[in-house]
Amino acid sequence: MIVLAAKCWLPRGFQLPDGSKSRKLLSCGDNWQIILTSTENTVLAVTCALLKKWIAANLIGEKAFSFVETAHGSFCVFIGKHDYLISSVQQGPYPNTNIEARAFAIALRETRKIIGDISLHDAVYIEQISRLLPTYTLTASMDDETVLGTWLSAGVQISTASYRRLCKLLEWMDEREVRAIIDEADLSESHGDSLVKRQEQTRSKSEDPTHISPTGTMLAPDAHFSLPGRPELELFFNEHVVEIIANEEKYRRMGIDFPAAIALHGPPGCGKTFAVERLIEFLDWPSYSIDSGSIGSPYIHDTSKKIAEVFDKAIDNAPSVVVIDEMEAFLTDRSVGQASGMHHVEEVTEFLRRIPEATKSRVLVIAMTNMVDSIDPAILRRGRFDHLIEVKMPSADEVASLLQSLFSRLPIQDDVELQALAEKLKGRPMSDVAFVVKEAGRIAVKSGKESIDRTALETACSLLPPAKGQVRKIGFSIETEHESV
């Protein structure tokens, strides 16, 4: 559940038509709010304009809602019954039981029978009436497989087509139950194949060795990884990771069994984490993270033990990925005096031992750092990290490539000049670029526009923090004229 800064449309203590009283805001969007009542039920409050869209689409009847008026305006409210979920696909709450998970799949199926291609990624789910109600935001859309996978996995954006990875995330449910829930959604051809159809395709491909490697890695020989905005990094991952995995027999004859460990270094915000996350999503392998927040410990030997446990899990579930974030927290030069004693040496030694072992066991190791000069030289030698790749801040062309990818899924007006916007955003983190597009969409909706225009994008750009070397002025600017005497 996210922390909300929005004002609740129904003030605390506001009496609802069923006699209950508003208690607190649970989640919200531009045109809707989910509110908890004094009786522990949930209420969906929406603008009248949004309700009219749902009624026009035959998704819900007008009688299901009551009209209320508060100091914040006039709203339509749906009062949920106890033990029935009212939930946001993007914000939760998410399922705790198999029954709740299956009910959502049924609602997805029944909703799709009524409406066609409208994306449900931003929908509000009402279990009581078995409906997913779209809120028509300008954020990037999802297919139904990703909507279902995101909700089942409590907000992780994952498609049900990534079946193995999804099952790993749903530890509270066995594989047969996951399969039954996906099939319950009955995803049609136009919105993605059902799991059964995908399994049939997989079985037919398994009879052809050109579609599946001898070790069972599902990557076609001509598989291509795409990383919009970072062509050099995309090329590196394709040549040194994807191609080796997809053509294992050919590379094994040349003595190359598996991709070597990779270390990415560059300034904060350059896009290292984004690139790694996209690669993991593409490979669809289980991933395991090593960072100071998850395994750091003040106790001697404890951190080394946790490091070993992560590598053991990755090896047991290979092929898999181990991501070492902020590697400088563990792998600083042992010869530097400030390195914290023998337990630090022990941590570095554990990595020195486990990285080659992991690679031999079909675990892809990727590390990231902002401080490559502080890393212990023994770690960066060939045989541990064969590839040390610098990731720089994006150029205008790289920003333009990402913008083009983001714009392709959104309604954009003709007055938007992609290259001019890319020039303005060059050298900034890719996350800033994504923020500008998303924020421009929000501004367009608030302004009553049907598409994103140049004005919305310029307004969104003005909300970014100053770029390096710039200072944002606060307050009044006073100009003084100097008169010549």
Strands laid side by side in the 131-133 sheet: 86-88, 124-126, 131-133
* 284 phi-psi bin (left φ>0, alpha ψ -120 to 50, beta other): left
pLDDT recorded at residue 485: 31
The answer to whether the bond into 231 is cis (omega within 30° of 0) is no
- The better pLDDT of the pair 44, 330 is held by 44
Nearest 5 degrees, angle CA 457-CA 463-CA 468? Answer: 110
Q: Tokens for 261?
A: 């460990």
The tens digit of pLDDT for each residue in 122-151 reads: 999 999 999 999 998 877 778 899 899 988
Which pLDDT score is estimated for 42? 92
CA atoms within 13 A on the CB side of 446: 12
Lowest mean pLDDT among 41-45, 66-70, 153-157, 455-459: 153-157
Residue ranges of domains in the chain = 86-200, 231-390, 396-462
Smallest Cα–Cα separation from 413: which of 459, 452, 460, 439?
A: 452
Q: Look at residues 348, 296, 328, 288 and name the one whose alpha carbon lies nearest to residue 312.
A: 288
Residues of the chain with pLDDT > 90, as a percent, come to 26
Model confidence at 481, in pLDDT bands (50, 70, 90)?
very low
Q: Which of 24, 27, 33 is nearest to 68 (CA)?
A: 33
Tens digits of residue pLDDT in 15-29: 998 889 999 898 888
Separation between Cα atoms, residue 417 and residue 428, nearest integer Å: 18
Q: Same CATH topology for 231-390 and 396-462? A: no
CATH entry, 231-390, from 3.30.460.80, 3.10.580.10, 2.40.100.10, 3.40.50.300? 3.40.50.300
- The residue among 458, 423, 418, 414 whose CA lies nearest residue 439 is 458
* pLDDT of res. 162: 81
346 pLDDT band, cuts 50/70/90, is low
Least confident piece of the model among 73-82, 196-205, 468-477: 196-205
Look at residue 294 in the predicted model and tell me its pLDDT. 56
pLDDT category, 273, cuts 50, 70, 90?
A: confident
Q: Which two tokens stand for residue 127?
A: 């279990």
Find the distance separating the first CA and the last CA of the chain, reported in whole Å.
Answer: 67
Domain spanning 396-462, CATH class: mainly alpha
